Amino acid sequence: MANPRVRSVLLSRLNGRQRSSQGEILAELRRCILDGDVPPGSPIPVDGVAATFGVSRIPVREALMTLIGEGLVDHRARTGYRVATMTAAEFAEIYLVREALETAALRVAVDRADDAAVREARSAHAALGAAVRSGDGRAHHRESRRFHLALIRPCEMRRLVHMLTAAWNMTEPLQPMAHLDRAERERLHDDHDAMLDAFAARDSARLVDLCAAHHRRLQGCIARLPRHTGLFREADISLRTSE
């Protein structure tokens, strides 16, 4: 269940401009949710969003329906729209989906990766290392995603990458890395070191094995995430996606 003390901070995070298009409203709402500034369960006031963008409720509601389809927003008949919540089991399931998609992409990406792709992976890895050392949870999320995508982008499988991106987006509002201690983050980054070496060596079999071990470690971290802070929704709460 969402923490009752959580208040929506969405309106203060929106960079709206008057008479925005539906596409602009959608992109800005998505950005705020994915940045992690708006915690799961936070209310999304339709009238307030409409006023921010200088539009009627209609384009706002249409943008929110798209975000419901992406798994980023929930709708409840009596309480309106909120940033999506999920149970701990649902959260772990998304990581299993991510592992399956990432593994499929890596098998192809290694063989197609050129020197430029390796340089991009090294750059992303260096930025991630800096985030781990500084203890910056938000930067850790951002650079970890950049690193993993750098490894799979050479696969050039547009639909697969789109599905992986969608699955990744669903976990971003929870900012799970922020709940790990420094030692856990460093162990995960040790995995990244080995994955980068295998990628640079074009060793697809080793990279896939390392990815599997990395995701097992992630699942262990997920199992230890706090259950008493409102991070996860209770399993017996039903959500509605229509009015």
* Angle in degrees, 0-180, between the axes of helices 88-112 and 204-223, rounded to the nearest 10: 170
User: How is domain 10-83 classified at the architecture level of CATH?
Assistant: Orthogonal Bundle (1.10)
Residue boundaries of the structural domains of the chain: 10-83, 88-223
Tracing tokens 């339709």 back to the chain, one arrives at 46
Asked whether this chain's domains 10-83 and 88-223 adopt the same fold, the reply is no
Q: How many Å apart are CA 102 and CA 208, to the nearest integer?
A: 9
- Distance of alpha carbon 81 from alpha carbon 43, whole angstroms: 6
Token pair 């990279």 in the structure block, residue: 207
Residues of the chain with pLDDT under 70: 1-8, 229, 235-243
pTM of the prediction? Answer: 0.84
Instruction: Look up the CATH superfamily of 88-223.
Output: GntR ligand-binding domain-like (1.20.120.530)
Q: What is the pLDDT of residues 201-210, one digit of tens each?
A: 999 999 999 9
pLDDT digits (tens, 9 = 90+) for 128-137: 999 999 988 8
